[in-house]
Amino acid sequence: MTFHSPIGAGSPTITMSTVASPLPSSAEGRSAMSKIVLITGASSGLGAATAQALAGAGHTAYAGIGPDSGRSPGGIAELDGYARTRGTRLRPLALDVADQRSVSAAVRDITAEAGRIDVVIHTMGPVPRGPVESFTPYQLAQIYDAHVLSTQRVNRAVLPQMRERQDGLLVWVVPSGHRADAAPYLALHSEAVTVIDHLAASYAKELTGFGIETSIIVSGSLMPDTGQHLRLVYPDDTETAEAYEGRYPGLVDRVDVTLAEQAGTGADVAQTARAIAAVVDGPKGSRPLRVAAGSPSDGPGIGSVGSGG
């Protein structure tokens, strides 16, 4: 699976009006426990599963659909069908996290319709696979943008209203076992995830005084999406990549086998989505900084969500 098109290419035409089930016109019409949630990267995989889990739990889930959604049209149709058949408040909308104008427009539209955004859920970006040297500087910039700058664009658009209300929740999803030396040819993915982890922890400290909480969901697999929905970034410098293949014959194939083995199953994705929903449902002040989805607690400040519903 390739992911060569520039991140930030044209966005799909998706509007909030594509899904029925209108929102109540006033705050009194909503449950006090119901949250307005924005999910990035929700066209398929974990993002879609999370949107469905939250909508099923009674929250209003705005599922951000990015410009790469053409690779997973079934996921978009599934979201539409889920919302229509179940009457849930699941609302797909165009959200290109690589474009500040798209992010600002999405946040503005959600706020105009729902009155606020209570929760932002940052899903994972694409997975670079190959020797570090074979990725061009432009590709590295794209990878950094997809994982790090994208979250900053969304946060800067949403956090002012959360700070004003002294209330809100940021949720970040990271895979388990993302050390840079854990597997060859996956170093750029590990580095990107490590930066995200540190960024989330820094936000947690800085936002506490504004009454805004942060939770980091650690998925039970190296790749938090299923192999079917895994987005891979291959090196543009194929000549250099071939030189490495000549020196280490068959290594890239073994890495691909590892990726397939360590990508989440459908059950893993559903379990991580339930973990996210449980954090959103949790009362303010009780949410742990880190939640190991489906794994036992492994340290202070780490919660656990098992396989139960």
State the DSSP string of 195-210: HHHHHHHHHHHHHGGG
3 state SS of 80: helix
Q: Report which secondary-structure segment, H or E, holds 65.
A: strand 60-65
Tens digit of each residue's pLDDT (9 = 90 or more) over 94-144: 999 999 999 999 999 999 999 999 999 999 888 899 999 999 999 999 999
Q: Print pLDDT tens along the chain (309 aa).
A: 333 333 333 333 343 333 334 444 333 334 448 999 999 999 878 899 999 999 999 999 999 998 875 555 555 666 777 667 766 689 999 999 999 999 999 999 999 999 999 999 999 888 899 999 999 999 999 999 999 999 999 999 999 999 999 999 999 999 876 565 567 899 999 999 999 999 999 999 999 999 999 999 998 766 656 555 567 899 999 999 999 999 999 999 998 888 887 776 788 888 999 999 999 999 999 999 999 986 433 333 434 444 443
For the chain, what are the domain ranges? 16-305
Supply the Cα-derived Rg of the chain in whole angstroms: 19
Other C-beta atoms lying within 10 Å of the C-beta of residue 29: 9
Task: Give the chain's mean pLDDT.
Answer: 81
CA atoms within 13 A on the CB side of 202: 8
Which stretches of 180-299 are DSSP H helices?
187-207, 238-247, 251-262, 266-281
For residue 152, what are its two tokens?
């900053």
State the DSSP string of 5-54: SPTT-PPP---GGGS-SPPPSSGGGS-TT--EEEESS-SSHHHHHHHHHH
Q: What is the CATH number of domain 16-305?
A: 3.40.50.720
Tens digit of each residue's pLDDT (9 = 90 or more) over 23-60: 443 333 344 489 999 999 998 788 999 999 999 999 99
In sequence order, what are the residues at sequence separation of 6 or more whose Cβ sits closer than 8 angstroms to the Cβ of residue 181? 187
